């Protein structure tokens, strides 16, 4: 799976608000960013239930690019890095539990 897999029209308000928290705080270690990353992860999983953890992470970055477009390379890199860092914790749990996000 390469590139975007979820149509941007299917992005939910929960996805958008979770992404806003992640990018506004820009601190993946904060508890609110962790909750937002988990919410983003679970929303993506609802739309892509059979995707690998790697694909879910890539989709989170695509959502960030779609919702917060920029032409500045440094800003784009920081946006992608913030999303990648925040989503990495739920993805690690997802990998460890063999595709089941937090025991669902």
Confidence label for 61 from pLDDT (cuts 50, 70 and 90)? very high
Confidence label for 10 from pLDDT (cuts 50, 70 and 90)? confident
What are the extents of the domains in the chain? Answer: 28-99
Confidence label for 86 from pLDDT (cuts 50, 70 and 90)? confident
Over residues 9-14, the mean pLDDT reads 87
- Distance from C-alpha of 35 to C-alpha of 57, rounded to nearest angstrom: 16
- Distance from C-alpha of 62 to C-alpha of 83, rounded to nearest angstrom: 10
Please give the structure tokens belonging to residue 51.
């995707």
The tens digit of pLDDT for each residue in 64-84 reads: 999 999 999 999 999 999 898
- For 11-74, give the DSSP string: --HHHHHHHHHHHHH--TTSHHHHHHHHHHHHHHHHH-TT--HHHHHHHHHHHHHHHS--S-HH
pTM: 0.79
The tens digit of pLDDT for each residue in 17-30 reads: 999 888 887 776 77
């Amino acid at each position: 799976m390469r590139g975007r897999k979820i149509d941007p029209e299917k992005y939910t308000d929960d996805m958008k608000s979770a992404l806003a928290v992640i990018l506004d705080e820009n601190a993946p270690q904060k508890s609110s960013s962790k909750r937002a990353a988990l919410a983003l992860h679970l929303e993506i999983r609802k739309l892509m239930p059979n995707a690998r953890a790697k694909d879910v992470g890539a989709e989170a970055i695509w959502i960030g690019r779609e919702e917060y477009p920029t032409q500045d390379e440094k800003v784009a890199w920081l946006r992608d890095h913030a999303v990648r860092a925040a989503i990495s914790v739920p993805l690690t749990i997802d990998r460890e539990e063999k595709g089941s996000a937090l025991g669902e």
